[in-house]
């Protein structure tokens, strides 16, 4: 019997793409740079690649933050702006952005009426709390676990060890993990014997993994949990 649900934040509850595009546009404005929408996919690709390397343990979080805007700005031939300084502006604007994924309110309201709800995110702690609060979603959570808070990240076993260390009397097989990322969420949750619910919003393939359930819309989770 499921007693608690862990749920990822970015691209599961909050639309990271919309938030990041807003933050990129605002940061370009801060530095007096011209922004056009064709630039955003360059960030998306570089950012996704770096997060993937982070999940595999090839780079640290601070290396990711240190590298990503140096790399993106380099792609645009913008050499006179310090990537670390740009990263600070980007982070500030991300903190201000809380665009929700469709159905986020409804599904959290539903799940929180039946289960304990914990956020499980590889994002920065205060930033994620602030964004959930701004999106008026924080009220549904019994706890927010972030890699920054715990010192380890999904999909590492140590991340889930730390989460369960903070929850009394609930074992992994009494929990479900909902997330959009096969590498961070589904792989991590499956290895930890949690019921995995893949939020497959882009109609992708499971790449050799076997989520217990797959949904294309958050609201479909009502049929599962």
Cα distance between residue 115 and residue 143, in whole Å? 12
How many residues bind Mg ion, per CB under 5 A? Answer: 5
Query: Quick one: which H or E segment has residue 130?
Result: helix 125-134
Per CB under 5 A, 11 contacts Mg ion: yes
Handedness of CA 54, 69, 181, 144 (dihedral sign): positive
Stretch 19-48 residues interacting with Mg ion (CB under 5 A): none
Closer CB to Mg ion, residue 156 or residue 180? 180
In this chain, which of 10, 15, 21, 55 binds Mg ion, going by CB under 5 A? 10
In this chain, which of 6, 8, 50, 120 binds Mg ion, going by CB under 5 A? 8
For the CB of residue 83, give the shortest distance to Mg ion in the complex, in Å: 24
CB atoms within 10 A of CB 37: 9
Cα distance between residue 14 and residue 27, in whole Å? 20
For the CB of residue 133, give the shortest distance to Mg ion in the complex, in Å: 19
Per CB under 5 A, 15 contacts Mg ion: no
Judging by DSSP bridges, how do beta strands 116-121 and 143-146 pair with one another?
parallel
Contact 158, 180 (CB under 8 A): no
Closer CB to Mg ion, residue 122 or residue 175? 122
Closer CB to Mg ion, residue 11 or residue 55? 11
Stretch 173-192 residues interacting with Mg ion (CB under 5 A): 180-181
Stretch 196-225 residues interacting with Mg ion (CB under 5 A): none
Q: Which two tokens stand for residue 191?
A: 């290895």
For the CB of residue 200, give the shortest distance to Mg ion in the complex, in Å: 12
Cα distance between residue 67 and residue 84, in whole Å? 8
For the CB of residue 97, give the shortest distance to Mg ion in the complex, in Å: 15
Closer CB to Mg ion, residue 70 or residue 138? 138
Closer CB to Mg ion, residue 51 or residue 90? 51
Cα distance between residue 153 and residue 124, in whole Å? 11
Per CB under 5 A, 55 contacts Mg ion: no
Cα distance between residue 150 and residue 173, in whole Å? 21
Residues that bind Mg ion (CB under 5 A): 8, 10-11, 180-181
């Amino acid at each position: 019997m499921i007693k608690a649900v862990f749920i990822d934040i970015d691209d599961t509850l909050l639309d990271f793409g919309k938030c990041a595009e807003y933050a990129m546009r605002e940061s370009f404005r801060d530095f007096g740079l011209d922004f056009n929408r064709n630039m955003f996919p360059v960030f998306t690709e570089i950012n996704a690649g770096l997060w993937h390397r982070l999940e595999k343990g090839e780079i640290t979080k601070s290396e990711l933050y240190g590298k990503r805007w140096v790399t993106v700005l380099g792609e645009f031939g913008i050499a006179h702006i310090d990537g670390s300084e740009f990263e600070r502006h980007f982070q500030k604007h991300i903190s201000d952005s809380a665009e929700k994924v469709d159905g986020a309110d409804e599904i959290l309201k539903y799940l929180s009426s039946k289960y304990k709800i914990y956020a499980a995110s590889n994002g920065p702690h205060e930033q994620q709390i602030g964004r959930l609060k701004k999106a008026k979603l924080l009220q549904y959570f019994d706890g927010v676990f972030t890699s920054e808070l715990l010192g380890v990240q999904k999909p590492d076993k140590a991340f889930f060890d730390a989460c369960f260390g903070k929850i009394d009397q609930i074992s992994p097989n009494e929990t479900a993990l909902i997330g959009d990322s096969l590498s961070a969420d589904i792989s991590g949750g499956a290895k930890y014997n949690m019921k995995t619910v893949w939020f497959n919003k882009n109609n992708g393939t499971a790449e050799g993994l076997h989520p217990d359930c797959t949904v294309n819309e958050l609201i479909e989770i009502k049929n599962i949990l």
